[in-house]
Chain A
Amino acid sequence: MKKLQKVTLTINDREVTAKEGMTILEAARDAGIYIPTLCYHEKLAPYGACRICTVELSRNGRSRLVTSCVYTVENGLIVKTESPKVIKVRKLLLELMLASSPAKAIQDLARQYGIEKRRFEADKTNCILCGLCVRYCSEIKQANAIGFVGRGTERRVVFHPEIASTVCASCRECFSLCPTGKLPSETDGVCFDDLTLDDFLKTQQSPA
Protein backbone atom coordinates (compact mmCIF):
# COMPACT_ATOMS: atom_id res chain seq x y z
CA MET A 1 0.00 0.00 0.00
CA LYS A 2 1.26 3.41 -0.95
CA LYS A 3 2.09 5.49 2.03
CA LEU A 4 -0.08 8.57 2.29
CA GLN A 5 1.82 11.72 1.48
CA LYS A 6 1.98 14.66 3.81
CA VAL A 7 0.42 17.82 2.51
CA THR A 8 1.29 21.29 3.74
CA LEU A 9 -1.17 24.13 3.51
CA THR A 10 -1.83 27.42 5.22
CA ILE A 11 -5.02 27.99 7.20
CA ASN A 12 -5.58 31.46 8.62
CA ASP A 13 -1.90 32.31 8.21
CA ARG A 14 -0.82 29.17 10.05
CA GLU A 15 1.10 26.40 8.40
CA VAL A 16 -0.80 23.13 8.80
CA THR A 17 0.28 19.63 7.88
CA ALA A 18 -2.36 17.17 6.79
CA LYS A 19 -2.57 13.73 5.25
CA GLU A 20 -3.29 13.39 1.58
CA GLY A 21 -6.98 12.84 0.94
CA MET A 22 -8.14 14.72 4.02
CA THR A 23 -10.67 17.46 3.60
CA ILE A 24 -9.86 21.04 4.52
CA LEU A 25 -12.37 20.71 7.36
CA GLU A 26 -10.60 17.68 8.82
CA ALA A 27 -7.21 19.34 8.49
CA ALA A 28 -8.50 22.46 10.21
CA ARG A 29 -10.10 20.52 13.04
CA ASP A 30 -6.92 18.53 13.60
CA ALA A 31 -5.11 21.82 13.92
CA GLY A 32 -7.69 23.12 16.35
CA ILE A 33 -9.15 25.64 13.90
CA TYR A 34 -12.92 26.02 14.10
CA ILE A 35 -15.16 25.87 11.02
CA PRO A 36 -18.92 25.66 11.59
CA THR A 37 -20.78 22.71 10.06
CA LEU A 38 -24.37 21.54 9.93
CA CYS A 39 -24.63 18.71 7.43
CA TYR A 40 -21.22 17.20 8.16
CA HIS A 41 -20.84 13.98 10.14
CA GLU A 42 -17.55 12.19 10.54
CA LYS A 43 -19.05 8.76 9.98
CA LEU A 44 -20.86 9.76 6.79
CA ALA A 45 -19.73 10.52 3.27
CA PRO A 46 -19.22 14.24 2.57
CA TYR A 47 -22.44 15.82 1.40
CA GLY A 48 -21.97 19.56 0.94
CA ALA A 49 -25.56 20.74 1.29
CA CYS A 50 -25.66 23.37 4.01
CA ARG A 51 -22.62 25.27 2.67
CA ILE A 52 -22.04 26.76 6.10
CA CYS A 53 -18.51 25.32 6.14
CA THR A 54 -17.61 27.51 3.15
CA VAL A 55 -14.06 28.85 3.25
CA GLU A 56 -12.02 31.05 0.92
CA LEU A 57 -9.19 29.48 -1.02
CA SER A 58 -6.43 31.29 -2.77
CA ARG A 59 -3.86 29.91 -5.08
CA ASN A 60 -1.61 31.71 -7.50
CA GLY A 61 -3.27 34.96 -6.53
CA ARG A 62 -6.81 33.84 -7.41
CA SER A 63 -9.42 33.26 -4.78
CA ARG A 64 -12.65 31.34 -4.66
CA LEU A 65 -15.10 29.88 -2.19
CA VAL A 66 -15.27 26.12 -1.56
CA THR A 67 -17.00 23.90 0.96
CA SER A 68 -14.36 22.69 3.36
CA CYS A 69 -16.17 19.45 4.24
CA VAL A 70 -15.85 18.27 0.63
CA TYR A 71 -12.69 19.89 -0.71
CA THR A 72 -9.53 17.82 -0.20
CA VAL A 73 -6.25 19.39 0.84
CA GLU A 74 -3.54 20.25 -1.65
CA ASN A 75 0.02 21.43 -1.19
CA GLY A 76 0.33 25.18 -1.05
CA LEU A 77 -3.34 25.97 -0.54
CA ILE A 78 -4.02 29.17 1.31
CA VAL A 79 -7.26 28.93 3.26
CA LYS A 80 -9.12 31.63 5.15
CA THR A 81 -11.92 30.35 7.32
CA GLU A 82 -13.35 33.72 8.36
CA SER A 83 -12.57 36.12 5.52
CA PRO A 84 -15.07 38.93 4.87
CA LYS A 85 -16.42 37.04 1.86
CA VAL A 86 -16.88 33.86 3.90
CA ILE A 87 -18.64 35.71 6.68
CA LYS A 88 -20.98 37.37 4.21
CA VAL A 89 -21.96 34.01 2.75
CA ARG A 90 -22.38 32.33 6.13
CA LYS A 91 -24.53 35.12 7.47
CA LEU A 92 -26.91 35.02 4.56
CA LEU A 93 -27.08 31.22 4.62
CA LEU A 94 -28.03 31.37 8.28
CA GLU A 95 -30.69 33.98 7.57
CA LEU A 96 -32.05 31.75 4.81
CA MET A 97 -32.13 28.73 7.12
CA LEU A 98 -33.78 30.66 9.92
CA ALA A 99 -36.61 31.55 7.55
CA SER A 100 -37.86 27.97 7.54
CA SER A 101 -36.22 26.43 10.59
CA PRO A 102 -35.92 28.73 13.57
CA ALA A 103 -34.24 25.96 15.56
CA LYS A 104 -31.96 26.62 18.49
CA ALA A 105 -28.82 25.27 16.83
CA ILE A 106 -29.31 27.65 13.95
CA GLN A 107 -30.24 30.56 16.15
CA ASP A 108 -27.09 30.01 18.18
CA LEU A 109 -24.95 30.09 15.05
CA ALA A 110 -26.85 33.12 13.80
CA ARG A 111 -26.14 34.92 17.06
CA GLN A 112 -22.50 33.96 16.80
CA TYR A 113 -22.40 35.70 13.41
CA GLY A 114 -24.19 38.77 14.69
CA ILE A 115 -27.53 38.31 12.99
CA GLU A 116 -30.12 40.31 14.84
CA LYS A 117 -33.21 40.79 12.80
CA ARG A 118 -35.12 38.41 10.59
CA ARG A 119 -35.41 39.54 7.01
CA PHE A 120 -36.95 36.45 5.41
CA GLU A 121 -39.97 34.27 5.98
CA ALA A 122 -40.75 30.84 4.51
CA ASP A 123 -42.81 27.75 5.25
CA LYS A 124 -41.86 26.72 8.74
CA THR A 125 -40.88 23.12 8.09
CA ASN A 126 -38.25 22.98 10.85
CA CYS A 127 -36.04 21.02 8.50
CA ILE A 128 -32.93 22.34 6.77
CA LEU A 129 -32.64 19.20 4.64
CA CYS A 130 -29.14 18.51 5.91
CA GLY A 131 -29.89 14.87 5.16
CA LEU A 132 -28.12 13.58 8.28
CA CYS A 133 -31.10 11.37 9.12
CA VAL A 134 -31.44 10.08 5.57
CA ARG A 135 -27.76 9.41 5.10
CA TYR A 136 -27.29 7.83 8.50
CA CYS A 137 -30.21 5.51 7.94
CA SER A 138 -28.85 4.52 4.58
CA GLU A 139 -25.08 4.51 5.08
CA ILE A 140 -24.78 3.27 8.65
CA LYS A 141 -28.00 1.36 9.33
CA GLN A 142 -28.58 0.37 5.72
CA ALA A 143 -32.27 0.48 6.46
CA ASN A 144 -33.40 3.29 4.12
CA ALA A 145 -36.41 3.95 6.28
CA ILE A 146 -36.24 7.69 5.62
CA GLY A 147 -35.63 9.56 2.40
CA PHE A 148 -36.21 12.71 0.39
CA VAL A 149 -39.29 13.49 -1.67
CA GLY A 150 -39.91 16.35 -4.05
CA ARG A 151 -37.49 18.75 -5.65
CA GLY A 152 -36.61 22.41 -5.43
CA THR A 153 -38.49 24.26 -2.74
CA GLU A 154 -40.81 21.25 -2.39
CA ARG A 155 -38.07 18.92 -1.23
CA ARG A 156 -38.62 17.33 2.18
CA VAL A 157 -37.90 14.32 4.28
CA VAL A 158 -40.33 11.43 4.77
CA PHE A 159 -40.28 8.03 6.34
CA HIS A 160 -40.93 5.02 4.20
CA PRO A 161 -44.07 3.79 5.91
CA GLU A 162 -43.48 0.09 5.43
CA ILE A 163 -39.82 0.01 6.37
CA ALA A 164 -40.25 2.52 9.16
CA SER A 165 -42.97 0.50 10.80
CA THR A 166 -40.64 -2.45 11.16
CA VAL A 167 -37.28 -0.88 12.02
CA CYS A 168 -37.73 2.62 13.45
CA ALA A 169 -39.35 1.83 16.79
CA SER A 170 -36.29 0.00 18.05
CA CYS A 171 -33.69 2.36 16.53
CA ARG A 172 -34.44 6.10 16.47
CA GLU A 173 -30.74 6.82 16.21
CA CYS A 174 -31.38 9.59 13.72
CA PHE A 175 -33.24 11.55 16.38
CA SER A 176 -30.08 12.72 18.09
CA LEU A 177 -28.43 13.72 14.81
CA CYS A 178 -31.14 16.12 13.70
CA PRO A 179 -29.77 19.68 14.17
CA THR A 180 -33.22 21.21 14.27
CA GLY A 181 -34.90 18.73 16.55
CA LYS A 182 -37.57 18.07 13.97
CA LEU A 183 -37.28 14.32 14.12
CA PRO A 184 -37.76 13.80 17.84
CA SER A 185 -40.38 16.51 18.15
CA GLU A 186 -42.58 15.86 15.17
CA THR A 187 -42.64 12.15 14.70
CA ASP A 188 -42.84 8.95 16.63
CA GLY A 189 -40.66 7.37 14.00
CA VAL A 190 -43.50 6.27 11.82
CA CYS A 191 -44.33 8.83 9.19
CA PHE A 192 -44.23 12.53 8.35
CA ASP A 193 -47.02 14.37 6.66
CA ASP A 194 -49.18 11.36 5.76
CA LEU A 195 -47.13 10.61 2.72
CA THR A 196 -47.97 7.41 1.00
CA LEU A 197 -45.70 4.63 -0.06
CA ASP A 198 -46.18 5.73 -3.67
CA ASP A 199 -44.90 9.23 -2.95
CA PHE A 200 -41.86 7.74 -1.39
CA LEU A 201 -41.07 5.24 -4.12
CA LYS A 202 -41.49 7.87 -6.81
CA THR A 203 -38.62 9.94 -5.46
CA GLN A 204 -36.38 7.01 -4.82
CA GLN A 205 -36.41 6.41 -8.54
CA SER A 206 -35.79 9.99 -9.63
CA PRO A 207 -32.15 10.96 -10.15
CA ALA A 208 -30.44 12.62 -7.21
Chain B
Amino acid sequence: MDFDELAKVGSMMGSGGMIVMDEDDCMVDVARYFLTFLTEESCGKCIPCREGIRQMLTILNRICEGEGKEGDIVMLEELSEVVQDASLCALGTTAPNPVLSTIRYFKDEYEAHIRESRCPAGVCKALVSYYINPEQCQACQICLRECPVGAIMGGKNIVHVIDQDKCTKCGTCLDVCPIRFAAVEKLSGRPVPAAPPQGTKVRRVKKAQQ
Protein backbone atom coordinates (compact mmCIF):
# COMPACT_ATOMS: atom_id res chain seq x y z
CA MET B 1 0.00 0.00 0.00
CA ASP B 2 1.32 3.43 -0.91
CA PHE B 3 0.12 6.92 -1.84
CA ASP B 4 -0.63 5.96 -5.45
CA GLU B 5 -2.57 2.84 -4.55
CA LEU B 6 -4.72 4.81 -2.12
CA ALA B 7 -5.26 7.59 -4.63
CA LYS B 8 -6.54 5.01 -7.13
CA VAL B 9 -9.40 4.04 -4.84
CA GLY B 10 -10.21 7.69 -4.13
CA SER B 11 -8.54 7.96 -0.75
CA MET B 12 -5.45 9.62 0.59
CA MET B 13 -2.88 9.06 3.27
CA GLY B 14 -3.71 12.25 5.12
CA SER B 15 -1.77 12.38 8.34
CA GLY B 16 -0.72 8.76 8.01
CA GLY B 17 -3.61 7.31 9.96
CA MET B 18 -5.96 4.63 8.81
CA ILE B 19 -9.25 3.46 10.26
CA VAL B 20 -10.52 -0.03 9.63
CA MET B 21 -14.29 -0.37 9.59
CA ASP B 22 -16.73 -3.17 9.03
CA GLU B 23 -20.45 -3.68 8.46
CA ASP B 24 -21.16 -2.45 11.97
CA ASP B 25 -20.11 1.06 10.96
CA CYS B 26 -22.72 3.27 9.38
CA MET B 27 -21.20 5.16 6.47
CA VAL B 28 -23.54 8.13 6.86
CA ASP B 29 -22.61 8.36 10.52
CA VAL B 30 -18.91 8.15 9.60
CA ALA B 31 -19.31 11.05 7.16
CA ARG B 32 -21.16 12.96 9.84
CA TYR B 33 -18.37 12.29 12.33
CA PHE B 34 -15.72 13.71 10.00
CA LEU B 35 -17.77 16.77 9.10
CA THR B 36 -18.44 17.52 12.75
CA PHE B 37 -14.70 17.47 13.28
CA LEU B 38 -14.20 19.77 10.30
CA THR B 39 -16.73 22.38 11.44
CA GLU B 40 -14.51 22.87 14.44
CA GLU B 41 -11.26 22.51 12.53
CA SER B 42 -12.11 25.00 9.77
CA CYS B 43 -10.66 28.44 10.48
CA GLY B 44 -13.94 29.94 9.28
CA LYS B 45 -12.43 32.54 7.01
CA CYS B 46 -13.92 31.64 3.64
CA ILE B 47 -17.57 31.11 2.82
CA PRO B 48 -17.47 27.80 0.92
CA CYS B 49 -15.60 25.98 3.67
CA ARG B 50 -17.35 27.51 6.67
CA GLU B 51 -20.89 27.64 5.32
CA GLY B 52 -20.62 24.68 2.96
CA ILE B 53 -19.47 22.31 5.69
CA ARG B 54 -22.15 23.70 8.00
CA GLN B 55 -24.88 22.90 5.48
CA MET B 56 -23.47 19.48 4.62
CA LEU B 57 -23.44 18.61 8.29
CA THR B 58 -27.03 19.78 8.67
CA ILE B 59 -28.08 17.39 5.90
CA LEU B 60 -26.06 14.48 7.32
CA ASN B 61 -27.56 15.04 10.76
CA ARG B 62 -30.99 15.05 9.21
CA ILE B 63 -30.36 11.75 7.42
CA CYS B 64 -29.01 10.10 10.58
CA GLU B 65 -32.04 11.36 12.49
CA GLY B 66 -34.33 9.65 10.02
CA GLU B 67 -35.49 12.95 8.54
CA GLY B 68 -33.61 12.59 5.27
CA LYS B 69 -35.39 13.80 2.17
CA GLU B 70 -35.36 12.71 -1.43
CA GLY B 71 -32.80 15.02 -3.04
CA ASP B 72 -30.47 15.15 -0.05
CA ILE B 73 -27.82 13.02 -1.74
CA VAL B 74 -27.81 15.26 -4.81
CA MET B 75 -27.66 18.32 -2.57
CA LEU B 76 -24.65 16.86 -0.73
CA GLU B 77 -22.92 16.27 -4.04
CA GLU B 78 -23.70 19.78 -5.22
CA LEU B 79 -22.33 21.34 -2.02
CA SER B 80 -19.27 19.09 -2.15
CA GLU B 81 -18.37 20.20 -5.63
CA VAL B 82 -18.46 23.89 -4.78
CA VAL B 83 -16.65 23.49 -1.46
CA GLN B 84 -13.92 21.58 -3.31
CA ASP B 85 -13.68 24.10 -6.13
CA ALA B 86 -14.00 27.36 -4.25
CA SER B 87 -12.38 26.96 -0.84
CA LEU B 88 -9.31 28.93 0.07
CA CYS B 89 -7.11 26.17 1.48
CA ALA B 90 -6.68 22.42 1.44
CA LEU B 91 -8.82 21.91 4.52
CA GLY B 92 -11.79 23.15 2.53
CA THR B 93 -10.89 21.55 -0.78
CA THR B 94 -10.64 18.13 0.85
CA ALA B 95 -13.44 18.55 3.40
CA PRO B 96 -16.08 16.95 1.16
CA ASN B 97 -13.99 13.79 0.63
CA PRO B 98 -15.64 11.73 3.40
CA VAL B 99 -19.05 12.65 2.01
CA LEU B 100 -18.19 12.00 -1.61
CA SER B 101 -16.43 8.70 -1.03
CA THR B 102 -19.14 7.32 1.24
CA ILE B 103 -21.75 8.30 -1.35
CA ARG B 104 -19.66 6.77 -4.09
CA TYR B 105 -19.14 3.41 -2.43
CA PHE B 106 -22.09 3.16 -0.05
CA LYS B 107 -24.91 5.04 -1.73
CA ASP B 108 -27.26 2.19 -0.81
CA GLU B 109 -26.71 3.00 2.87
CA TYR B 110 -27.71 6.62 2.32
CA GLU B 111 -30.77 5.48 0.38
CA ALA B 112 -31.77 3.01 3.08
CA HIS B 113 -31.77 5.81 5.65
CA ILE B 114 -33.75 8.18 3.46
CA ARG B 115 -36.23 5.85 1.78
CA GLU B 116 -36.70 3.00 4.24
CA SER B 117 -35.87 4.72 7.56
CA ARG B 118 -33.32 1.97 7.93
CA CYS B 119 -29.75 2.13 9.15
CA PRO B 120 -28.16 -1.03 7.75
CA ALA B 121 -25.37 -0.99 10.35
CA GLY B 122 -27.85 -0.36 13.15
CA VAL B 123 -25.88 2.67 14.35
CA CYS B 124 -28.23 5.61 13.92
CA LYS B 125 -30.30 5.56 17.07
CA ALA B 126 -33.29 7.33 15.59
CA LEU B 127 -33.64 4.45 13.14
CA VAL B 128 -33.25 1.41 15.38
CA SER B 129 -35.41 -0.18 18.05
CA TYR B 130 -34.78 -3.02 20.43
CA TYR B 131 -37.38 -5.74 20.76
CA ILE B 132 -37.66 -8.83 22.95
CA ASN B 133 -38.98 -11.80 21.03
CA PRO B 134 -41.67 -13.29 23.33
CA GLU B 135 -41.11 -16.75 21.86
CA GLN B 136 -37.47 -16.72 22.97
CA CYS B 137 -37.54 -14.78 26.23
CA GLN B 138 -36.92 -17.03 29.21
CA ALA B 139 -37.56 -14.30 31.78
CA CYS B 140 -34.09 -14.55 33.26
CA GLN B 141 -34.44 -10.93 34.39
CA ILE B 142 -30.88 -9.97 33.49
CA CYS B 143 -31.86 -7.27 31.00
CA LEU B 144 -34.58 -6.12 33.32
CA ARG B 145 -31.98 -5.43 36.00
CA GLU B 146 -29.33 -4.03 33.66
CA CYS B 147 -31.44 -1.58 31.65
CA PRO B 148 -30.12 1.79 32.87
CA VAL B 149 -33.45 3.55 32.43
CA GLY B 150 -35.77 0.84 33.74
CA ALA B 151 -37.51 0.52 30.39
CA ILE B 152 -38.00 -3.24 30.62
CA MET B 153 -41.16 -4.66 32.18
CA GLY B 154 -41.70 -8.27 33.24
CA GLY B 155 -40.86 -10.55 36.12
CA LYS B 156 -40.23 -14.12 37.10
CA ASN B 157 -41.72 -16.38 34.45
CA ILE B 158 -43.25 -13.36 32.77
CA VAL B 159 -42.10 -12.48 29.26
CA HIS B 160 -40.12 -9.21 29.30
CA VAL B 161 -41.24 -6.28 27.21
CA ILE B 162 -39.38 -3.07 26.33
CA ASP B 163 -41.26 0.17 26.83
CA GLN B 164 -40.32 1.82 23.52
CA ASP B 165 -41.06 5.30 24.86
CA LYS B 166 -38.63 4.91 27.73
CA CYS B 167 -35.92 3.06 25.80
CA THR B 168 -32.83 5.18 25.09
CA LYS B 169 -31.48 2.61 22.62
CA CYS B 170 -28.27 2.04 24.52
CA GLY B 171 -28.24 -1.62 23.51
CA THR B 172 -27.49 -2.97 26.99
CA CYS B 173 -30.32 -5.53 26.81
CA LEU B 174 -28.95 -6.94 23.57
CA ASP B 175 -25.48 -7.18 25.11
CA VAL B 176 -26.59 -8.94 28.28
CA CYS B 177 -29.23 -11.31 26.90
CA PRO B 178 -27.66 -14.78 27.24
CA ILE B 179 -26.60 -16.14 23.87
CA ARG B 180 -28.55 -19.36 24.45
CA PHE B 181 -31.78 -17.35 24.57
CA ALA B 182 -30.93 -14.64 21.99
CA ALA B 183 -34.26 -13.03 22.71
CA VAL B 184 -33.35 -9.39 22.14
CA GLU B 185 -33.40 -8.19 18.54
CA LYS B 186 -32.24 -4.94 17.04
CA LEU B 187 -34.67 -3.76 14.39
CA SER B 188 -34.21 -1.10 11.76
CA GLY B 189 -36.50 -0.16 8.93
CA ARG B 190 -39.42 -2.18 10.22
CA PRO B 191 -41.98 -1.55 12.93
CA VAL B 192 -41.67 -3.07 16.37
CA PRO B 193 -44.16 -5.98 16.62
CA ALA B 194 -47.00 -5.47 19.09
CA ALA B 195 -46.09 -6.56 22.62
CA PRO B 196 -47.67 -9.73 23.98
CA PRO B 197 -50.49 -9.18 26.53
CA GLN B 198 -49.25 -8.17 29.95
CA GLY B 199 -48.30 -11.09 32.14
CA THR B 200 -47.70 -13.56 29.28
CA LYS B 201 -45.92 -16.60 30.66
CA VAL B 202 -42.64 -17.73 29.14
CA ARG B 203 -42.54 -20.73 26.82
CA ARG B 204 -39.91 -23.16 27.97
CA VAL B 205 -39.14 -24.41 24.50
CA LYS B 206 -35.39 -24.10 24.61
CA LYS B 207 -34.86 -26.40 27.60
CA ALA B 208 -34.23 -29.53 25.57
CA GLN B 209 -31.44 -27.90 23.59
CA GLN B 210 -29.27 -27.11 26.59
Contact = CB atoms under 8 A, between A and B. Distances in A.
Interface of A: 48-52, 54, 65, 67, 85, 88-89, 92-93, 96-97, 99-100, 119-122, 128-129, 131, 148, 150-155, 208
Interface in B66-95: 75, 78-79, 81-82, 85-88
Size bin of chain B's contact surface: 20 to 34
B46 A49 contact: yes
Given A129-B45, A151-B41, A153-B54, 20 more contacts: A48-B88, A49-B46, A51-B48, A92-B78, A92-B82, A93-B47, A96-B48, A96-B51, A121-B58, A129-B44, A129-B47, A129-B50, A151-B42, A151-B43, A152-B53, A153-B42, A153-B50, A154-B44, A155-B44, A208-B45
Contacts of B51: 96-97, 99-100, 122
Contacts of A88: 81-82
Contacts of B53: 152-153
B39 interface: yes
A85 B51 CA distance: 19
B82 A89 contact: yes
Specify which of B39, B40, B51 lies most central, judged by the most chain A CB atoms within 10 Å of its CB: B51
26 contacts: A48-B46, A49-B45, A50-B46, A51-B48, A54-B86, A85-B85, A92-B48, A93-B48, A93-B82, A96-B52, A96-B55, A97-B47, A100-B51, A122-B54, A122-B58, A128-B47, A148-B44, A151-B42, A151-B43, A152-B38, A152-B39, A152-B42, A152-B50, A152-B53, A153-B42, A154-B44
Could you tell me the dominant secondary structure of chain B's interface residues? helix
Nearest to A93: B47
Given A96-B51, A122-B55, A129-B50, A151 B82 contact: no
In the A-B complex, the 6 residue pairs with the closest CB atoms: A155-B44, A96-B51, A152-B42, A92-B82, A51-B86, A153-B54
Interface of B: 38-48, 50-55, 58, 75, 78-79, 81-82, 85-88
